[in-house]
Structure 1
């Protein structure tokens, strides 16, 4: 089983560690959609008892990342387009309003953090490092929410975005899309810096809806990763 190991953090319980390792590998597509998981194998791999693995499985199934099929086994959930659709609706609705706030007033120290994220993403494009690019993508959006004092709202979005984020990761992992995303981020930051609400609204619409434009190609290239094999309606 090809799983990237993660170092435990101080005072982290075994249960939390197992959950964190499994979720990271699912979200980063190291554990592919549809692949089978065994409590015993995971316990041996992570050198833990089966109890924290079982607890992590339950928690991940509650987040729709694992499917537990009685008498058959446990599988990494296929990407569900209905979940993606709901997540896109939530994110587009909320981020449109947050960007409006950011374009009216934004702390200078948080603007510096946004510019730093953008510079690091540029390096990721040059180094062809999609995983780090993806992490910085989330960090950039998180900083915008933080600057608008909406940190808890961002946390809620992340909890509900597991299927949406796997689509994003699948696309970024191909590498070819990073320059376009970087350009959109650059324009978002310019909108905040120049207090241009119209530009900010236009760019966040394009940025969030990019997943809609990407899905048909991803469904064609990775049909086994998706619950639905074609787009029945516009996401």
Structure 2
């Protein structure tokens, strides 16, 4: 899975950008689970870079509440906070609902065709049971909607807030029924976009985002040590 927050696409990536993206992806995919200790020295060796870009990446991830920076002590991958989840869900829903409304008005046939092509790949991933691929395609699906709405900068906000909920999804959305539900929701959203149905697109998006409630409850029950509250 390659779930990363997009940087400004008008400039070249720095070393710090690349370290940030790799660390964020590993945190979201739980290759670095909550509570993992990290050090600048060790990460610099792993990525074969100096400590400065690692330090910059740590600070950025700290700003996103994904790392706990502790002076003179090891940095920790933050445990999942219910408060963070609720706050990020609110922000994401507020932004994404307006994005799909705008996409209904502005989407071109070419843009919708790209979303439809993404959805076909999602269907293949579900049929293959490829969880990592589906998560990556999910990320691209929401990004493509921002593109057809001509508001790609909004995806930075969506992705930054999505990072918190994606850790929950990594924990629990790995069975066939959960994967099929994601595909069904995305199919419904695309159908509304094609029709230019702003109300339907908004309702489908809210429903899609609301499904986290059951996923969150299951994750807390099965992985209590990953949560801080």
Paired residues of 1:34 and 1:78 also in contact (CA < 8 A): yes
Q: Does 1:98 align with 2:99?
A: yes
Equivalent residues, number: 219
- Give the C-alpha shift of residue 90 in structure 1: 1.4
> Over alpha carbons, which structure has the higher Rg?
1
Residues in 2 aligned to 1:192 and 1:112: alpha-carbon distance in whole angstroms: 11
Q: Assess, with a 3 A threshold, how the Cα gap between structure 1 residues 141 and 41 changes in structure 2: closer, same or farther.
A: same
Residue 75 of structure 1 aligns to a residue whose secondary structure is strand
- Which residue of the partner structure matches residue 83 of structure 2? 82
Is the contact made by 2:172 and 2:218 (CA closer than 8 Å) also made in structure 1? no
Determine helix, strand or coil for the equivalent of 1:33.
coil
Give SS of 1:161's match. Answer: helix
Match of 2:212 in 1: 211
Structure 1 residues 7-65: Cα deviation after superposition (integer angstroms, max 9, x where no partner): xxxx6543333222212211221100111112232222222333332332222212211
Unaligned runs of 5+ in 2: 3-11
Give the direction of change, closer, same or farther, for the CA distance of 1:109–1:56 in structure 2 (3 Å limit). same
Runs of 4 or more consecutive aligned structure 1 residues displaced over 6 Å after TM superposition? none
Do the aligned residues in 1 keep the contact of 2:92 with 2:157 (CA within 8 Å)? no
Q: Tell me if the contact between 1:134 and 1:172 (Cα under 8 Å) persists in the aligned partners.
A: no
State the alpha-carbon separation in 1 of the partners of residues 153 and 57 from structure 2.
24
TM-score computed with the length of structure 1 as normaliser: 0.84
Query: What runs of 5+ residues in structure 1 fail to find an aligned partner?
Result: 5-10, 229-235
TM-score by length of 2: 0.86
* Contact 2:192–2:200 (CA under 8 A) maintained in structure 1: yes
Q: In structure 2, do the counterparts of structure 1 residues 48 and 107 end up closer, same or farther at CA, with 3 Å as the change threshold?
A: same
Shift of the 96–12 alpha-carbon distance from structure 1 to 2, 3 Å rule, reads: closer
Q: Distance in 2 between matches of 1:194 and 1:14?
A: 43
Partners of 1:78 and 1:188 in 2: CA distance: 32
Match of 2:58, SS state, is helix
Which string of whole-angstrom CA distances, capped at 9 and with x for unpartnered residues, describes residues 84-118 of structure 1? 11111112222222222333442100110111011
Aligned-pair distance for 1:193? 1.4
Contact kept, 8 Å, 2:81 with 2:227, in 1: the verdict is: yes
Residue 76 of structure 2 aligns to a residue whose secondary structure is strand
Q: Cα deviations across residues 131-169 of structure 1 (Å, max 9, x unaligned)?
A: 111111121111112111111112222234331232233
Tell whether 2:28 aligns with 1:27.
Answer: yes
SS for the counterpart of 1:177 is helix
Q: Does 109-118 or 14-23 show the bigger shift?
A: 14-23
